[in-house]
Structure 1
Amino acid sequence: MKKYSELSREELIRLLIERDGEDLGGIRITYPGQTPPWQIVRRVSPRAQRIDPKLSLGTEEQQASNLLIEGENLQALVSLYKYRGQVDLVLTDPPYNTGTDFRYNDRWDSDPNDPDLGKIVPADDGSRHSKWIRFMTPRLWMMKEMLRPGGVLAICIDHRELFRLGMILDEIFGEANRIGIINWQKTYSPKNNVGAKTHVSTSTEYVLVYAKNIDRAKTELLPRSAAMNQRYGNWDEDPDSWAPGDLTGRGADTHWGQVYAVQSPFTGELMWPSEGRCWAIERKKLKALLEQWGCTYTNKDFKDGRAPALVIKGSLDKAKSAAEAILAAGKWPVGYWRDGGKGHFRLKVYLKDVKKGIVPVSYWGDEEFEEPDAIESVSWDHEQSGHSQTGLNELGALVGKDHGFTTVKPLKLFKKIIQIWCPPRGVVLDPFAGSGTSGHAVMELNEDTGAERRFVLIEQGRPERGDPYARTLTRDRLESAITGRRFSKSGGSSISAMPLRAGFRFSRLMSKVDAGAVLALEREEMIDLLLTSHWDQPTRADGHLRRLPAGTHRHLFAKSTRGEGFFLVWNGPDQPSVLNRDAFRAIAAEAQAEGLAQPFHVYARISTYGGPNVEFYQIPTRILEKLGFNEAVGLYGTTPEPNEGSEESAA
């Protein structure tokens, strides 16, 4: 227990609130078993991580960008010290406490290090709300700790815990830092189960959005570059500059009703979206655009197992004459036919409409506006932002229909949130990764827009307990997204979608970290820990190390993006680990052969060699420091080590 003189100003304020009940932040929520979250977090023991190469995917560079962690999320958040204060957006979809999705371990209150999932909390449990709050509060506290000063939390919830979650977030983040409550349309048709107990059909859910510091958070578009605007011009008599826009989008395998033909009034030909794509707007809106060419369209079912086509009603000759007259008049409709009527149906995207961003609104529902040329900060109707069934269809296409999930957030909903509140080179953290929607959204946005966002996903994943989501469902979805693998309705799979240029590391939370645990590691295990602990904040966007294949060097195990080498003098816990002149000569030779720059970064137990071209990291002290430990003050139960970095200690 710290003395008052050792407490920080923030800790003193927390202590005053706890002991005196002084209300410094408006209304505060109280509940049975309430414990200040910082006290719970302080008792959680950080864990070591072990990278599993067999479950990782992509090149070393691609793996270094993204991380999927298998383990209990509070322990993972505490262990991710290198990301603390570095995350741009926490985007997560926690359990909603529906009586079917929330587990609670009763032993967790007394020991927050107990990783047991616990039992499902039934809907008739009288303490279900307080259990949910006790579970969520320390995790929300750690989510705030992970954010940059201008970072944002976006957390999904439904009506069951909306009010309680809002009060917790007001208390942790401060009411003044609430950016908004997004009301998104999860269904677009009423349910038929409305009765005596259910008076209205629930068609919306919510996303609560809070800033760590609202004065530093940004909810705006990045400025458009001159190069982006150069593709806009005038190909007809339209006085406003425009560029060709696509009326189709990816997702034909999950949006079968949006794959159909439209008939050209110029040639009479039936034209389809290209392979793997579907129409991205509603049929009635597409029909209205087609009819601006002077003809009427109707639905026609060709009995071919596909959705009905939109065909011209009446004489094709009259339709052609009307369309050619509009083409010759000069100013074409917003929906136009390429190549003088000979090509596909496209969309005119006006520079005046996309040059400035559109401010997001709090209701993401059925709104009317022109189709943008890119997914930017605009509000979408359910066809564009998706709904609950869309999410299920997307997941089924990625991992097969027997995934067992009954609710999945649509991909486009998460893509929109990421684009609004995470910069193009930012970090997205999801502590309740579930099926991996947030990671998929990050990778797809990077592919679509050229951004370089990265993700960190955490999922419990307990194969021995029947909950292997991290290594099966979550990982499988990410793999399918990257490789382009898709499952058909019949259950077969094939590479039928565009692959994504991305990868990820799969890492497992291991035993409690302390000096003894570090010193007991074998060489490859030690390398895994070094790669996990390394984080270069000055070059945060590319601060990871690129691991070299095992067994290729005696000491060199990784390179940085600056061309510097990282070396390990370690052959196991029972072998000497000394950086001496002989070890340095071997290291220098390896560095020269690889063309590496100085200084040489060397990990070892003891150093008897010193020089300006060597940066020495003592094992285990420097490793623990990088993980957020400070053995000098004995945090987390560690014992201060003797000073072994001198000639005298080596002797």
Structure 2
Amino acid sequence: MNYEELPRSALIKLLQDQDEERVQAGKDGIVLNYAGRAAPWQIVRQIKPRMFEFNKRASVGNTEEEVANEIWDGENLSTMVTLYKFRGQVDLVLTDPPYNTGEDFRYNDKWDKDPNDPDMGDLVAKDDGSRHSKWLRFMTPRLWMMREMLKPGGVIAICIDHRELYRLGMLMDEIFHEENRIAILNWQKSAAARPDNKHVSTSTEYVLVYGKDITRVKTMSLERSEQDNRRYANFDNDLNGLWREGNLTAKSYSAKDDYGIQSPFTGEVHYPAGHGAWRHPKKNILNWLCEWGAKFEERDIGDGRSKALMVKSQETGRVDSAVKAAAESILNSGNPWPFVWFGRDGSGRPRVKTYLEKIKRGKVPVTYWSDQDLSSEEIYDDLGAMSWDYKESGRSADGVSELTSIVGPGHGFTTVKPMKLFSKIIELWCKRDGIVLDPFAGSGTTGHAVLNLNQTTNAERRFILIEQGNDEKGDHYAKTLTADRIKKAISGKWKSSARDPLNGGFRFFNLKREKVDANAVNALAREEMMDLLLVSYWDRNDRAKSYLRRLPAGEHKHLFAVNSRNEGFFLVWSSPDEPSQLTRSVFKEIVKEGRTNGLVERYHIYAALAPYTGNDIEFYQIPDKVLEHIGFNARADAFNNDGGMDAN
């Protein structure tokens, strides 16, 4: 950036942004600095929404199925800005961005000239000494925009490998803040040693998981399988059903709950494991112990801890034969044992029962995902660093094989995230009717995983996929690969063999080079105007679910869509050169169309002018209301004026 050429107002703004960064650094510890850095909010603020077109031929499903999901062909930062109705509405951003792998990659380096440049940018060679800075420069504004798209309790899960792990982690700490880090997932991408490093074979990759506000994030449980339940049994015919051993020790320490418990079988006094404390209230544990046929009491045994729970009139290290016989009689009676028990032969430490009935709705993720299923008492609240082996998350080879089976060989992708990995992440951090956004959609694994989970778990999640890449021939992956894979998954017509079809559909959009402004909206033909209204419309009460179902073109003069409440949406617009006015006579035509189609008598009407008004009319003025719905703010957009970067 040439500071000497900047006007005074731009220099003041730059200094204000730098002060804001310094304040942020004081709050969060660090701000990552690199060559060519610009504040991400400064960049995003300058991006304008772009015009787009709805591609009916590339879309899949009937009119109701289409509106649930979207695939966009276009530069992802501009596309996210254009998707204004979804800002603050996304439950999960799940994405696999281009890694700085040492091979050539593209990035957009034109923020200081024109941030609305739609091109992908120049190639960055693998021997470029600034490649890490350029990669960060590419990622920073996109991560900021992904954060903007999330709900307050939303989550981002972003894939990365070892080459940029540390830099991305620092950038994520800065943008999302360290206290909102949920997990670092370490997943096994390969089960066999690979000769890719002369020292240590690279067999793992990572997923960094952050919440927008961790205090509002909900981590769901995973679906349980019969394999998960295999360690549950019912040795004592407990009326509560299958159970397994649970830990009586809590991970947090409390002095009042740090005391000894005497076994009625051996007389030994047991203490909480490690530096923990008993997890249940003392009075409850006392009652459970008494169910073993002996009387227990609180007693100071001189161990420097709280009063122990001891068998009445018995000394440390011994119990008389009557106490032991009573406990063994209950153990061998065939009747349910007390909740606190001492092992199947009575010789162990005190532990509790964990009932399958209470946790069967799902399993909780633990710090290490393997074949083992830890009891609910052993789960850590904070996931921290988590490792998933390939049996839990799939391998990169599985992802490539899945893609080849669906679209056939020759797709050119050598690394593809497996469905199993993405499915687990979606299960954990996207509610059953939530929205998943993938700004680097690639081969479409995210969308496929959403549809597959919807079918197998009877859920209603939705996806938004954005892809801007193209192959050597110049064909855009969004259409030739991303949409093609999702289409084949829905139809069940895989290249390898026929599969069960998946329910669902999607609308396909092409982002255009033209920016959205009043002139662009007013120049639209009727079909183009309807496309814009269908995508940009949102209800102030519920943006995320206020999508419209388009009616077949050409069947009505004004009616073009209906919402979920069976209310009609009408467009008084023939062409840019024709008058667009809601008059009394036009409203009569609208009422007739609504009644003919059995619609609720509330009319949503788009027009340039409205000389006629009524109580049942919701009027949307063209272009003002359309621009508002797409997030366009002329006064806040520096690039709306001829002065470009120098405009105030």
Q: TM-score, normalised by structure 2?
A: 0.73
**Does the 8 Å CA contact 1:461/1:471 hold for their aligned counterparts?**
no
Counterpart CA distance in 2 for 1:548 and 1:577 is 21
**Does the 8 Å CA contact 2:222/2:364 hold for their aligned counterparts?**
no
Q: 1:636 and 1:361, CA in 2 relative to 1: closer, same or farther beyond 3 A?
A: farther
- Pairwise CA distance, 1:233: 13
Counterpart CA distance in 2 for 1:190 and 1:82 is 47
**Does the 8 Å CA contact 2:185/2:388 hold for their aligned counterparts?**
no
Is residue 2:567 matched to residue 1:559?
no
- Partner-residue secondary structure (3-state), 1:622: helix
- Partner-residue secondary structure (3-state), 1:616: strand
Counterpart CA distance in 2 for 1:68 and 1:593 is 33
Pairwise mapping of residues 368-379 of structure 1 onto structure 2 (< 5 A)? 368-369=372-373
1:516-574: CA deviation from partner (whole Å, max 9, x where unpaired): 01111111000000001112253456311010000000000000110100000111111
Pairwise mapping of residues 42-191 of structure 1 onto structure 2 (< 5 A)? 42-100=45-103, 102-191=105-194
**Does the 8 Å CA contact 2:21/2:31 hold for their aligned counterparts?**
no
Give 1:530's aligned amino acid.
L
Is residue 2:476 matched to residue 1:468?
yes
Is residue 2:510 matched to residue 1:512?
no
Q: 1:390 and 1:21, CA in 2 relative to 1: closer, same or farther beyond 3 A?
A: closer
Give 1:520's aligned amino acid.
A
**Does the 8 Å CA contact 1:184/1:363 hold for their aligned counterparts?**
no
1:358 to 352, 356, 363: 363
Q: Which runs of 5+ in 2 are unaligned?
A: 1-6, 243-354, 376-382, 643-648
- Pairwise CA distance, 1:48: 2.0
Counterpart CA distance in 1 for 2:69 and 2:178 is 32
Is residue 2:614 matched to residue 1:606?
no
Counterpart CA distance in 2 for 1:49 and 1:123 is 34
1:452-474: CA deviation from partner (whole Å, max 9, x where unpaired): 11011100145897251001100
1:459 to 461, 467, 480: 467
Counterpart CA distance in 1 for 2:471 and 2:601 is 44
1:623 to 621, 626, 629: 626
Look up the match of 2:207: 207
Pairwise mapping of residues 491-640 of structure 1 onto structure 2 (< 5 A)? 494=497, 496-510=498-512, 511-540=514-543, 542-631=545-634, 637=640
Pairwise mapping of residues 4-403 of structure 1 onto structure 2 (< 5 A)? 14=17, 16-18=19-21, 23-100=26-103, 102-195=105-198, 199-221=199-221, 351-352=356-357, 354-355=359-360, 357-364=362-369, 366-369=370-373, 381-403=389-411
- Pairwise CA distance, 1:603: 0.4
Give 1:507's aligned amino acid.
F
Give 1:434's aligned amino acid.
G
Counterpart CA distance in 2 for 1:628 and 1:541 is 15
Q: 1:40 and 1:467, CA in 2 relative to 1: closer, same or farther beyond 3 A?
A: farther
Counterpart CA distance in 2 for 1:233 and 1:181 is 34
- Partner-residue secondary structure (3-state), 1:54: strand
- Partner-residue secondary structure (3-state), 2:576: coil
Give 1:200's aligned amino acid.
V
Q: 1:353 and 1:189, CA in 2 relative to 1: closer, same or farther beyond 3 A?
A: farther
**Does the 8 Å CA contact 1:545/1:558 hold for their aligned counterparts?**
yes
- Pairwise CA distance, 1:99: 2.8
Counterpart CA distance in 2 for 1:570 and 1:472 is 34
Q: 1:65 and 1:379, CA in 2 relative to 1: closer, same or farther beyond 3 A?
A: farther
Counterpart CA distance in 1 for 2:452 and 2:132 is 36
Q: 1:443 and 1:12, CA in 2 relative to 1: closer, same or farther beyond 3 A?
A: farther
Q: 1:223 and 1:2, CA in 2 relative to 1: closer, same or farther beyond 3 A?
A: farther
**Does the 8 Å CA contact 1:99/1:121 hold for their aligned counterparts?**
no
Q: 1:109 and 1:160, CA in 2 relative to 1: closer, same or farther beyond 3 A?
A: farther
Give 2:614's aligned amino acid.
G
- Partner-residue secondary structure (3-state), 2:28: coil
Q: 1:211 and 1:2, CA in 2 relative to 1: closer, same or farther beyond 3 A?
A: farther
- Partner-residue secondary structure (3-state), 1:361: coil
**Does the 8 Å CA contact 1:50/1:509 hold for their aligned counterparts?**
yes
Q: 1:533 and 1:121, CA in 2 relative to 1: closer, same or farther beyond 3 A?
A: same
Give 1:401's aligned amino acid.
P
Counterpart CA distance in 2 for 1:130 and 1:32 is 6
Give 2:211's aligned amino acid.
A
- Pairwise CA distance, 1:220: 2.9
- Partner-residue secondary structure (3-state), 1:542: coil
- Partner-residue secondary structure (3-state), 2:61: coil
Look up the match of 1:438: 446
How many equivalent residue pairs?
507
**Does the 8 Å CA contact 1:49/1:532 hold for their aligned counterparts?**
no
Q: TM-score, normalised by structure 1?
A: 0.72
Q: 1:467 and 1:2, CA in 2 relative to 1: closer, same or farther beyond 3 A?
A: farther
- Pairwise CA distance, 1:478: 0.4
- Partner-residue secondary structure (3-state), 1:554: coil
Task: Give the structure with higher Rg (CA).
Answer: 2
Give 2:491's aligned amino acid.
T
Q: 1:3 and 1:450, CA in 2 relative to 1: closer, same or farther beyond 3 A?
A: farther
**Does the 8 Å CA contact 2:436/2:462 hold for their aligned counterparts?**
yes
Q: 1:184 and 1:609, CA in 2 relative to 1: closer, same or farther beyond 3 A?
A: same
**Does the 8 Å CA contact 1:182/1:363 hold for their aligned counterparts?**
no
Q: 1:451 and 1:354, CA in 2 relative to 1: closer, same or farther beyond 3 A?
A: same
Look up the match of 2:423: 415
- Pairwise CA distance, 1:180: 1.1
- Pairwise CA distance, 1:14: 4.9
Give 2:510's aligned amino acid.
R
